[in-house]
Amino acid sequence: MKDSNSNQEMLQNSFEQGLRSTLKGVVSNVFLAIIKILSGIIGHSYALIADGIESLLDVFSSIIVLAGIKIAATPADEHHHYGHGKAESLAAMVVSIALLAAAMGLAIQSVREINEPHHAPAPFTLVVLLLVILIKELLFRYVDEVGDEIESSAVKADAWHHRSDAITSVAAFIGISIALLFGKGYEMADDWAALVACGIIAFNGYRLLRISIVDIMDEVPSPEVEANILKIAGDIEGVMEIETCRLRKSGFGYFIDMHIEVDENLSVRAGHEIAHTVKDTLMSEYPNIFDVMVHVEPYPFKPL
């Protein structure tokens, strides 16, 4: 039988996974930000400097994610009967807004740089960007996989920060390559690349903001998950019909409210045992279900 201790253990495991992935991202972003900003200054590439600034913003975002998942892993208390899972969604929302703000700020500066004459970027900046693209794409895949595994919108938002960084680096690589290939008159190509990258960052910020709002508004997490839960509960012996099934995501897991119908001639105890079987079976099948509230109705159900 699944109990609150096993629920808490699952929550702790999810927290530790999210913590590890986010800390790795923080360390990587600090290192890459220093490399990119210094290379951009020395190599006369604003696209690379903008990329480095975005990496510094990623550090700030990752710290928010760390705080969010730490609060989300806090057990329920007398003031928060359903736990603190929404803190994880709020962290994802803050990170998304930070992405949008970064895109706007970098876009404004890119436009300014386009209108100001400057030197063409140095060739060595391309090597730096290739290294950045490789590291950032690997980080994205690792953190995104963790986010999928623990079903964390905040961790997935953090993963997309890495993907956005990789995309801006690709744009910068293309822009600098054009500037170097075509020479005089094309020095601002990397600034245009930075501007394009800002649009990509803004799009990802909007997309992630929508996901976090969906979580906060308790939208049904997944039609497939809902259908499977209905099937599992409906196949349990003694369950005649399922009148209602409501799901909502909170942090790393789900809460479920379900109304089942059982033979009206059964005793209260027998109906209670069927309800417990439904709850225990669902929580065994889905380790990230925190609780299932099962209400028993007589079958056939006749509204009062």
Whether 177 and 103 share a structural domain: yes
DSSP string spanning the chain?
A: ---HHHHHHHHHHHHHHHHHHHHHHHHHHHHHHHHHHHHHHHTT-HHHHHHHHHHHHHHHHHHHHHHHHHHHTSPPBTTBTT-STHHHHHHHHHHHHHHHHHHHHHHHHHHHHHTS--PPPPTHHHHHHHHHHHHHHHHHHHHHHHHHHHT-HHHHHHHHHHHHHHHHHHHHHHHHHHHHHH-TT-TTHHHHHHHHHHHHHHHHHHHHHHHHHHHHTT--S-HHHHHHHHHHHHTSTT--EEEEEEEEEETTEEEEEEEEEEETTS-HHHHHHHHHHHHHHHHHH-TTEEEEEEEEEEES----
Which tokens sit at 249? 């995501």
Residue 192 lies in a domain: yes
* Structural domain includes residue 196: yes
Per-residue pLDDT band at 272 (split at 50, 70, 90): very high
From the number of C-beta atoms within 10 Å of its C-beta (0-12, 13-18, 19+), residue 79 rates as exposed
* Domain termination site, one of 158, 183, 216: 216
Q: What is the pLDDT of residue 296?
A: 93
Residue 301 has pLDDT above 60, yes or no: yes
Domain check: are 173 and 79 in the same one? yes
Pairwise pLDDT comparison (4 vs 33), residue with the higher score: 33
pLDDT tens for 181-209 read 887 777 677 777 778 778 877 887 888 78
Q: Per the domain annotation, does 33 fall within a domain?
A: yes
Cβ atoms 44, 121 nearer than 8 A = yes
Q: Which residues pair with 247 in a beta bridge?
A: 256
Same domain, 207 and 257: no
Same domain assignment for residues 251 and 145: no
Q: Rounded distance, CA 103 to CA 152, Å?
A: 24
Task: Specify if 264 maps to a domain.
Answer: yes
CA distance 230 to 212: 25
Residue 70 sits in a domain whose CATH number is 1.20.1510.10
Helix 86-114 vs helix 46-72: crossing angle, to nearest 10? 170
Dist CA 60 CA 41 (whole Å)? 22
93 and 230 belong to one structural domain: no
On whether both 131 and 271 belong to a single domain, the answer is no
Q: What pLDDT, on a 0 to 100 scale, did the predictor assign at position 231?
A: 92
Which of 193, 216, 239 terminates a domain? The answer is 216
- Measured in degrees and rounded to the nearest 5, phi and psi for residue 234 equal -70, -25
% residues pLDDT > 90 (the chain): 16
Instruction: Specify whether 295 is located in the same domain as 210.
Output: no
- Residue 135 is encoded by which pair of tokens? 């590291």
Residue of 192, 173, 171 whose CA lies nearest to 124: 173
- Domain contains 304: no
Q: Are residues 175 and 29 both part of a single domain?
A: yes
Residue 100 falls within a domain, yes or no? Answer: yes
pLDDT by residue (tens digit) across 211-231? Answer: 788 878 877 777 888 889 999
* Contacts for 101 with CB less than 8 Å, ≥ 6 apart: none
Q: What is the rounded CA–CA span in Å between residue 255 and residue 240?
A: 22
What pLDDT is stored for residue 2 in this prediction? 45
Q: Which domain holds residue 285?
A: 223-299
**What percent of the chain lies above the pLDDT cut of 70?**
90
**What is the pLDDT, as a whole number, of residue 271?**
92
Model confidence, pTM: 0.66
pLDDT band at 281 (very low <50, low <70, confident <90, very high): very high
Q: What is the CATH number of the domain that holds 235?
A: 3.30.70.1350
> Residue 1: its pLDDT value, please?
45
Number of domains in the chain: 2
Q: What is the pLDDT of residues 150-193, one digit of tens each?
A: 777 777 777 877 887 787 788 778 877 887 888 777 767 777 77
The verdict on residue 278 lying in a domain is yes
Q: Are residues 82 and 147 both part of a single domain?
A: yes
Residue 173 within a domain: yes
Give the pLDDT band of residue 273 (cuts 50, 70, 90). Answer: very high
Cβ neighbourhood burial of 116 (10 Å; 0-12, 13-18, 19+):
exposed
Residues 174 and 245 in one domain: no
Highest mean pLDDT (candidates 27-36, 74-83, 90-99, 261-270): 261-270
Q: Do 71 and 172 have their domain in common? A: yes
Average pLDDT, the chain: 81
Q: Does 231 lie in the same domain as 209?
A: no
159, 182, 216: which is the final residue of a domain? Answer: 216
